[in-house]
Amino acid sequence: MPSLVQSVDWTALAPAAIPAVLAVAVLVADLFLPKERKELLAWVTVGGLALAALSLIPLRAGRHATFCLTDEKMRPLHDGQATATAGCSYAADHFTLVVQALVLGGALLTALLSVNTQDDLPAGEYWFLLLSSAAGAALLPASRDLATLIVALEVTTLPAFALVGLRRGDRLSSEAALKFFLSSVAATAVSLLGISFVYAATGTLHLAAVADGLAHAPAQLATLAKVGAALTLVGFAFKLAAAPFHFWVPDTYAGAPLPVAAYLSVVGKAAGFSGLILVSVIAFRPYDDVWGPTFGVLAALTMTVGNVGALRQRPGVERGAVRLLAWSSIGQAGYLLVPLAAASDADSPAHEIGTTVAYALMYAVVNLGAFAVAALVSRTAPLGRLSDYRGLYASRPAAALALGFFLLCLAGLPPGIIGLFAKVAVFSSAVGAQHGWLAVIMAVNVVIALVYYLRWTALLFARPEGAPEGSASLAELPADGGATAVSRTPVGLVAAIALTAAAGIVLSGAPQLILRYAQGSLL
C-alpha cells in the first residue's frame, strides 16, 4: 500500500499562506501595541501583501501543484493522460498566478487606501479581517476540488461581512453587513447543496474528475447531476453579483467603509469569477451546452440591470458616488461574463477565459483608482454625493484628471485606451463565438454606461458655480489652502492613486501587457 502522506510544496502555497500567517500575527501584535503606534500594523499589512505578491515570481513557470493524491491510480485522466496537476487540490498554474496577482494587488491597494483614513475603525481587527479575506481570495483560484473551492470562497466572504459592519454605531453599516451576510449565506447553502448532488452523482470532488464523472454519469442520476451543477453555479454567480443576485451590492457598498467597498468590488468579484470559471469550464465541461447560453443570458441581464441602475443615480443623493460605482460594477460584471458565455462553444476555452482575466485586470486597476479618488474626495466632503465632485479640477487638478481617466477607461473611450481595447477583446470573443445578439446588447450597454460616466467626468471639470457653501469652499481651496490640503492627504492614498494612474497609463500605451492573456495560455 502506497504512503498516504502528502508532501507539501510550501513555495506554491506562499501567496495564500503569507497573508493567512500575517493575519494572525497582526491580530496578536495589536494586543501589544500602544494606541499611537497602531499605524505600524498598516505598514506591516502593506508589506506582507507586497511580499505575498512577490512570492508569485518563483512560481511563474506555472508548473507547481500540491496536495496531490499520492496514489497514481486514483489520479484522474485528463484527455486520456495524466497531467502534472491532475489529482491535485492546489495548482499554481498560469490562471492561478494571474488571478492571485490581481487579488493580492487589489488587497494591497485597499490596504494603501485604508492607511490613516479609517481611524474610527478598530485597527487590529480591520487588518486581520482584510488579510484573512485576501488569503481566501488567493487560495480560491488555486483550488482544484470542490471542497477547497467552497472553503476558500467562505474564507473570502466571512471576513468581508465583518469588514462591512465594522463601523460601530453606524446604522447603515450594520444593515449593509446583515443584508450581505444573509443573502450570501443563503447562496453558499445553495451551492453546498449543489456540490453534494454533484458528489452523489460522480463520487468525486476533484474538478477534472467531476467532468469525467458527469460525462459518464448513470442515466438515473443525470437529473441529479444537472440540478447539482446549476445550484453550484448559483453560489458563485452571487459572489460575482450577477443579476438577479445583485440586489445586495448597492446597499452593501454604500454602507461599508469606502476601502472595503473598493475591496469587494474588485477582489470579491475576482473570487466570484475565478470560481465560476473553474467550476464551469473544468468541472461542468460536459454541460457546456447548458451553462454557455445561461451565462449569455446572465451577462445580458447583469450588464443591463447594472447600467440602468447606475444611470438612475441622481447627483444630490448621499453616498451617490459609491452607489454609482456599485451599480457600474454590476454592469462591468456583465461584461466579464460575456467571454465565459463564448467559452462554451469554443474549441479551446483558454482564449475566452484569458479575455475575461484581461478585462478583470483592467477593471481592477481603474476601479480601484476611481475608489481611491472617491476616498480622497470623501475627506473633504464626507457625504459622498456626486455633486461634491463638481469643479474638482479647480481644487485638485491631478485627482480630477486621474478620476476622469479612470472613468473614461471604465467607459472604454480614448484617452482610456486600455479600457477600449479590453472591451474590444470582449466584443471580439462574442463576435467570434457567433453570439451576435449578446454583442449587440453589450453595444447598447456601452452607450448607456457612457452617459453616466461622462456625466460624472463632465462634473469634474464643470465650473463650481451656484453650489452650496460646501463645494464653494472646495473651489476656493487652491488660492490659500491648496498646499496644506495636499500635505494633509495620507501618503497611502496618494500612493494608491499614483500607482493605479501609472498602471492605467502604462497599460494604455502597451495594452499587450494584459491582453496577451487573451491569446490563451491560461488553464
Name the site residues for another protein (rule: CB under 8 A).
358, 408, 413-415, 417, 420-421, 424-425, 427-428, 431-432, 436, 439-440, 443-444, 446-447, 450-451, 454-455, 458, 461, 463, 511-512, 515-519
Element (H, E) at 64: strand 64-68
Point out which residues pair with 90 in neighbouring strands.
Answer: 66, 143
Q: Is there a contact between 453 and 445 (Cβ–Cβ < 8 Å)? A: no
Q: Cell numbers for 475, please give them.
A: 473651489
Residue closer to another protein by CB (options 293, 415) is 415
Nearest distance, CB of residue 310 and another protein, angstroms: 15
Dig out the grid coordinates for 184 from the structure. 450570501
Comparison of 297 and 440: residue with beta carbon closer to another protein? 440
Q: What is the DSSP string of 95-164?
A: HHHHHHHHHHHHHHHHHHHHTTT-TTS-HHHHHHHHHHHHHHHHHGGGB-BHHHHHHHHHHHHHHHHHHH
Shortest distance, CB of residue 502 to another protein, whole angstroms?
A: 15
What backbone phi and psi angles, to 5 degrees, belong to 68? Answer: -95, 155
Q: Cβ closer to another protein: 8 or 447?
A: 447
- Tell which phi-psi region holds residue 492, choosing left (phi > 0), alpha (psi between -120 and 50) or beta: alpha
Instruction: Tell me if residue 302 falls in helix, strand or coil.
Output: helix
Hey, is 86 helix, strand or coil? Answer: coil
For the CB of residue 511, give the shortest distance to another protein in the complex, in Å: 5
Distance between CA 318 and CA 258 in Å, rounded?
13
- Minimum distance between the CB of residue 446 and another protein, rounded to whole angstroms? 5
Q: Which of 18, 188, 114 is nearest to 496 (CA)?
A: 114
Q: Which is nearer to another protein, 63 or 516 (CB)?
A: 516
Cell of 76: 484522474
Is the Cβ of residue 263 or residue 517 nearer to another protein in the bound state? Answer: 517
Of the pair 284, 359, the CB lying nearest another protein is at 359
ω into 349 cis (within 30 of 0): no
- Residue 216 beta carbon to another protein: minimum distance, rounded to whole angstroms: 35
| Nearest CA-CA partner of 425 in 322, 523, 511 | 511
Q: How far apart are alpha carbons 90 and 389 in whole angstroms?
A: 45
Q: Supply the minimum distance, in Å, between the C-beta of residue 431 and another protein.
A: 4
CB of 339 to another protein, least distance (A): 13
Q: Measured from the CB of residue 509, what is the shortest distance to another protein in angstroms?
A: 10
Instruction: Output the smallest distance, CB 408 to another protein, in A.
Output: 7
Q: Nearer to another protein by C-beta: 415 or 470?
A: 415
* Residues 304/440, Cβ–Cβ less than 8 Å: no
For another protein, the closer of residues 215 and 440 by Cβ is 440
Total length of the chain? 523
Residue 329 CB, shortest distance to another protein, in Å, is 21
Least distance from another protein to the Cβ atom of residue 397, Å: 9
Helix (H, G, I), strand (E, B) or coil at 347: coil
Exposed / middle / buried, residue 354 (Cβ in 10 Å: 0-12, 13-18, 19+): buried
CB 516 → another protein: shortest distance, Å? 5
Helix or strand or coil: residue 5?
coil
CB count, 10 Å around CB of 218? 10
Complex with another protein: residue 84 or 510, whichever CB lies closer: 510
Residue (18 or 362) nearer to another protein, CB: 362
CA triplet 501, 505, 511: central angle to 5 degrees?
A: 130
Which of 53, 460 has the CB closer to another protein? 460
Question: How far, in Å, CA of 52 to CA of 507, rounded?
Answer: 23
Give CA–CA dist 101/97, Å, rounded.
Answer: 6
On whether the CB atoms of residues 12 and 92 are closer than 8 A, the answer is yes
Nearer to another protein, 111 or 410 (CB): 410
